Structure 1
């Protein structure tokens, strides 16, 4: 039986090369998103994981901001792209649902639009996992698409895909983070896109 993690992994293995070109272009055109990453970087003390790192552009940006950053992604092909493009950085295959890290290992964690494919009922466990690997006072930055729909595209980035994607209400994400042991310290709403987007900066309490 194919799980949603299998479907997501297989889909991103398929689109990895074309996805990398597109998202890196979009990232260069996103000064507001980069400002949130800069605010996160100023507050972090200790190593950082970019969870759902894709082709590694955000990991590389965090490293350029002076952080000890490493990337984790479900898709082996995405990790191959990231390692090829940023050979001096650390990238590993893994799932945010069960991070291969000790408790309290990280000073910060970024999930940059990477909770998009998680069924909402799995978010409490994933946020608890984020909390587990962070030190007291550790920082979390989460970006996500805003709404209350489940999307099931058949094609993306010029290729067939089989994943589902989920739009989330910011107030719901704030509540779930609170239940997992986080306090949200900053919120950013971004309009004028295909779907509105939101970023939440939080710390462990």
Structure 2
């Protein structure tokens, strides 16, 4: 996971067991990337490495980068023959080294979006491309409303910071273009995403939003989690199944400067 999520403890085993949709739904993004044999491609925010491996299957030469030691450890265990680096995206050391940068479900964790865009531009070769998908404006709106409502009852006026941001097309395109990355395509779309099992929402909150609950005394964490789940039940639980109200921003950009 990216640098603004470093203080979140990532559980790779839970991530792989309960949240495989993160990489399974991104296989179409690999098609948009269209890796060519011999291309050097950076997988930014690679997590446990499954999409890095998909890029390698196309005979490109990928490098997976993530700032989570737990995720990089899992990636190296999953794919010992591939290259993975533990590094913050905004401080990655690459200079004109990659034909493409690929990123799925990671850039919305990177709050220093300008610093990351600058690092991406620096890493790309001239005319290199960025293919990415992240949470876009309005992503998990219902979930965040429930979290904010429950948090207000426990934290008052000082809730934990969200640690994510979900930009509009115009906002993110402006950031990229300010660093010489010309946006050629951008699309913001709803993608309600099924969550596995009766405990699907609880599992999702534990994996991705536990930082809302972690500062609470041990006895209150589970109570606050249960309150959040119950607040969401009328909105995101239908016919015995949970879903997350995802909105995704998918874009393609080219280094022109």
TM-score normalised over the length of structure 1: 0.80
Q: Aligned to 1:176, what secondary structure does the other structure show? A: helix
Distance 1:191 1:148 in 2: 9
Distance 1:44 1:168 in 2: 33
1:190–1:196 contact (8 Å) kept in structure 2: yes
**Is 1:175 equivalent to 2:174 in the alignment?**
yes
Deviates more, 1:15-24 or 1:104-113: 15-24
2:40–2:100 contact (8 Å) kept in structure 1: yes
**1:99 paired residue among 92, 115, 139:** 92
Deviates more, 1:88-97 or 1:43-52: 43-52
Q: Aligned to 1:165, what secondary structure does the other structure show? A: coil
**2:54 paired residue among 61, 65, 71:** 61
Structure whose alpha-carbon radius of gyration is higher: 2
Q: Aligned to 1:111, what secondary structure does the other structure show? A: strand
Counterpart in the other structure of 2:253: 202
Matches within 5 A, 1:42-53: 42=35, 46-53=39-46
Q: Aligned to 2:64, what secondary structure does the other structure show? A: strand
**1:116 paired residue among 108, 130, 135:** 108
Counterpart in the other structure of 1:138: 128
**Is 1:125 equivalent to 2:115 in the alignment?**
yes
2:180–2:255 contact (8 Å) kept in structure 1: yes
Structure 2 gap segments, 5+ residues each: 149-159, 193-244
Counterpart in the other structure of 1:73: 66
**Is 1:16 equivalent to 2:16 in the alignment?**
no
2:42–2:65 contact (8 Å) kept in structure 1: yes
Paired positions, count:
188
1:8–1:117 contact (8 Å) kept in structure 2: yes
Distance 1:63 1:162 in 2: 36
Distance 1:27 1:47 in 2: 20
Distance 1:174-1:85 versus aligned 2 partners, 3 A rule: same
Structure 1 gap segments, 5+ residues each: 155-160
1:38–1:65 contact (8 Å) kept in structure 2: no
2:169–2:188 contact (8 Å) kept in structure 1: no
Distance 2:190 2:36 in 1: 26
Measure how far apart 1:127 and its partner are: 0.3
